[in-house]
Structure 1
Amino acid sequence: MKAVILILVLVAVVNATSLKNLLKDEFNSFKLKHHKIYKNASEELKRLQIFVENKKLIDTHNKRYLAGEESYKMGLNKFSDMTPEEFKTLVLTNLNPADSQEGIDYIYNPSSLVNLPSSVDWRDWGAVNPVKNQGSCASCWAFSAVGSLESHHFINSYQRVSLSEQNLVDCTSGYPYYNQGCSGGWPIEALNYVRDNGGINTASYYPYEGQDNTCRYNKNNIGSKSLLLYKLLVEMKPHWHPPLPIRDPSRCVSMPPCSNITKVVLNEPSCSQSVDHCVVVDGYGTDSVGGDYWLVRNSWGEYWGENGYIRMARNRNNQCAIASYAIYPLV
């Protein structure tokens, strides 16, 4: 009997050691892929422990997903060595919905009689720039505004342009826009600035730094202008704008607490209506398994989600407030 117990203990130790080595190998691959360098051995141990806990959460969630108990799948990404609190503080933004109506020129509520195509992907039209990365700065609002403005510049001129998020981070703090740079803000105030200022600089002239700095706008390096701002009231139907299928709107949403969503349509009925993140909607469609979705471009790099994108549920009672704060500029 003692021999059997000893064998079981040895097997358990071997299995635990193998698992530990496997997780260490996975962590080393994670560090290499995402260029992670920690300041000392203590910090690396802390990040390893957080990584292991996040990996357990992901594996447990995906078992429920395979059993049909969850609506979306999770995976590792560059945030997997962060706690939820760190992720929220570092990446998400502080938004006050009471300020979201200031500066709107028109409110557009599309007719239900409009005949729309079953799916649209603005990437197919060449109107969408590559996914960008806001880094360790809660400037999603600037990337959301710029992403929409870049696409509308293309729609108007058929010319691709990369615009400066840093221009917005540096120049919309304080009166009259009151954005907070790397501490948060609203895309509408960013686009109000572009309209009032007579333009925004190109990214090549005013490159992204991922930190707050002084305003260095130069009127001789304008990349695009914004003339009017539209608020889009839509969940069931996207906006039809002949001759192209839909306008490419900036939206602020409630990002679910997990930063590792991947490979499926996010259908989360419990998703909060309190928005804390801003994105760009580049289209819509219907998945054979997940149903109707919005094609959402994020600003967390190409290694997040589906090559930087996430498909969020459409026509499901405005999940995550996806339809509550949609705006777009007229260029």
Structure 2
Amino acid sequence: MKFLTLLAWVVADGVASPSRRQQWGDFKAEHGRRYASVQEERYRLSVFEQNPQFIDDDNARFENGDVTFMLEMNQFGDMTSEVFPATRNGFLTFPSRRREGILGAQADETLPLQVDWRTKGAAPPVKDQKQCGPCWASTTGSLDRQHFLKDGKLVRLSQQNPVDCSKFANMGCGGLMDQAAFHYIKANKGIVTGDSYPYEAQDGQCRFDATNVGATDTGCVAVEHGSESAVKKAVAIGPISVAIDASQPTLQFYPNGVYYEEYCSTMLDHGVLAVGYGAPEKGYWLVPKNSWNTSWGNKGYIQMSLDKNNNCGIAQASYPHV
């Protein structure tokens, strides 16, 4: 082991400057990185060396006023922009979606100027989904918060339960928010608590036990597709599940600012939980539960641009009937 460690540093010596080598050592120590081989470490180091330049180039655009958000190095610094979404995004899109109703918005409706469910204790803590990518199971955050708003009882629900057991409309670490999760919970007559069925970051055998059910639903409401006004109406009711395009490299290193990405599409690949929106002059959606840990973003949160032509496809949303 000592020989391999020494060899790794010898290999790194040929490709990294002393300052970058120190940064690399600090990065591995901070994030607990251990690689399977010298070859893998050399490759990861080469990726790590390239990402700071990408971050610096984008921050120069921020300083020039060309973009409204900054970037910084984080725990994903040894991942390429291709590997990152492949391992952290797990939302799947299918053409058919079962709905108990569709929520639209009326032009003359009066909604709160801004909403932040964190101030009412209805925003869930940020989690770390790790390499599994079951972001579609953000439905648990929407469901437990809807129950909290209904009866004042807050029960942490299991993400692992639908990952292991909702096999009819998802592939474990990938799935649909409304079809695979809300409808699974309805058909299953409940979802168990997180304490009884903890998260394991991988597909497993279903171990559902009805005696540990923590919440139920009677289906879900799909928010009018593409309508940010309808999404605002839904968020004013409570935290809701939304899907976004999270494949852009800039999202990988986001720490703060209002995220608007001109290259974003409506090809959705990540499920998150929207818990608020800013006043009109601020123009953002408040999205936590991004499940990339509190070391990503602004303590796990991101402000995504609002009323910018559905940027990153955020206006695809749903929430449960409780």
Closer, same or farther in 2 for the Cα pair 1:319/1:260, shift >3 Å?
same
Match among 161, 164, 167 for residue 170 of structure 1: 164
How far residue 228 of structure 1 moved from its aligned partner, in angstroms, is: 3.1
Equivalent position of 1:179 in the other structure? 170
Aligned residue type for 1:167: N
Contact 2:258 2:303 in 1 (8 A): yes
Contact 1:23–1:52 (CA under 8 A) maintained in structure 2: yes
1:214 partnered with 2:205: yes
Unaligned stretches of 5+ in structure 2? Answer: 1-13
Tell me if 1:138 matches 2:133: yes
Mapped partners of 1:31, 1:159: distance in 2? 41
1:108 and 1:230 in contact (8 A); partners too? yes
Q: Aligned to 2:298, which of 296, 301, 306?
A: 306
Task: Measure the CA separation in 2 of the matches of 1:229 and 1:54.
Answer: 41
Q: Secondary structure of 2:272's partner? A: strand
Q: Which amino acid aligns with 1:279?
A: V
Matched, 1:64 2:56: no
Task: Report the aligned-residue RMSD.
Answer: 2.1
Counterpart Cα distance in 1 of 2:177 and 2:230: 22
Confirm whether residue 272 of structure 1 aligns to residue 265 of structure 2.
Answer: yes
Match of 1:8 in 2: none
Deviation of 1:216 (Å): 0.8
1:23-172 matches, cutoff 5 A: 23-93=20-90, 95-99=92-96, 101-102=97-98, 104-142=99-137, 144-172=138-166
Q: Hey, what's the Cα distance between the residues in 1 that align with 2:113 and 2:91?
A: 35
User: CA separation in 2, counterparts of 1:199 and 1:281?
Assistant: 23
Q: CA deviation at 1:239?
A: 4.8
* Amino acid paired to 2:295: Y
In structure 1, distance between residues paired with 2:176 and 2:66: 35
Q: Is contact 1:71–1:268 with CA below 8 Å preserved after alignment? A: no
Distance 1:225 1:93 in 2: 23
Deviation at 1:48, TM superposition (A): 1.4
In structure 2, the residue matched to 1:251 is 242
1:39-75 deviations in whole A, cap 9, x for unaligned? 2333222211111111111111111221122332111
Q: Is contact 1:118–1:285 with CA below 8 Å preserved after alignment? A: yes
The structure with more radius of gyration: 1
1:22 aligns with 2:19: yes
Instruction: Report the CA distance shift for 1:239/1:317 in structure 2 as closer, same or farther (over 3 A).
Output: closer
Q: Distance in 2 between matches of 1:201 and 1:309?
A: 26
Deviation for aligned residue 1:147: 1.3
| C-alpha distance in structure 2 between counterparts of 1:87 and 1:223, whole Å | 33
Amino acid at match of 1:29: D
Tell me which amino acid in the other structure corresponds to 1:129.
Answer: P
Q: State percent identity of aligned pairs.
A: 36
Q: Is the 8 A contact 2:115 2:277 kept in 1?
A: yes
Could you tell me how far 1:37 is from its partner in structure 2? 1.9
Task: Pick from 186, 189, 200 the counterpart of residue 191 of structure 2.
Answer: 200
Match of 2:4 in 1: none
1:262 aligned residue: 255
Mark the runs of 5 or more structure 1 residues left unpaired by the alignment. Answer: 1-16
CA distance in 2, matches of 1:224, 1:217: 13
The residue type paired with residue 123 of structure 1 is: R
The whole-number CA distance in structure 1 between the counterparts of 2:26 and 2:117 is 34
Could you tell me how far apart the structure 2 residues matched to 1:228 and 1:172 are? 15
Contact 2:91 2:271 in 1 (8 A): no
Q: What does residue 308 of structure 2 align with? A: 316
Kept in 1: contact 2:105–2:229 (CA 8 A): no
Deviation at 1:287, TM superposition (A): 8.0
